[in-house]
Amino acid sequence: MAGGFAKDGAVQDQIDATVDDAVQRARSNLPQGESLEHCEECGSDIPEARRKAVPGVRLCIQCQAENDKQEIFSGYNRRGSKDSQLR
């Protein structure tokens, strides 16, 4: 039940928007194109099994792991409702 200026279901709409944003961000980060045989960061060989498993792979496993550690995402939906902005 919504109160104030927020419509019914506003909380669920915000949750859905957050999930949609996360899915869209994940899809945009997927590699595309032909896989590289050598890592573009360190130059080491990328195993054939990895190239087949992840089409468009650009990094070796170690560099990809380091890259994943550096990615920071807050997970908050900053599009709050008008009701939340008035408080």
Burial class of residue 20, CB neighbours in 10 A (0-12, 13-18, 19+): exposed
pTM over 0.85: no
Q: What is the pLDDT of residue 12?
A: 87
* Mean pLDDT, residues 53-81 taken together: 79
Contact at 8 Å (CB) between 37 and 51?
A: yes
Please tell me the distance from the alpha carbon of residue 76 to that of residue 18, in angstroms, as a whole number: 7
User: Mind listing the pLDDT tens digit for each residue in 40-61?
Assistant: 999 999 999 999 988 899 999 9
Q: What is the pLDDT of residue 42?
A: 95
Please tell me the distance from the alpha carbon of residue 54 to that of residue 32, in angstroms, as a whole number: 9
Please tell me the distance from the alpha carbon of residue 75 to that of residue 11, in angstroms, as a whole number: 15
Q: How confident is the model at residue 85 (pLDDT cuts 50, 70, 90)?
A: low
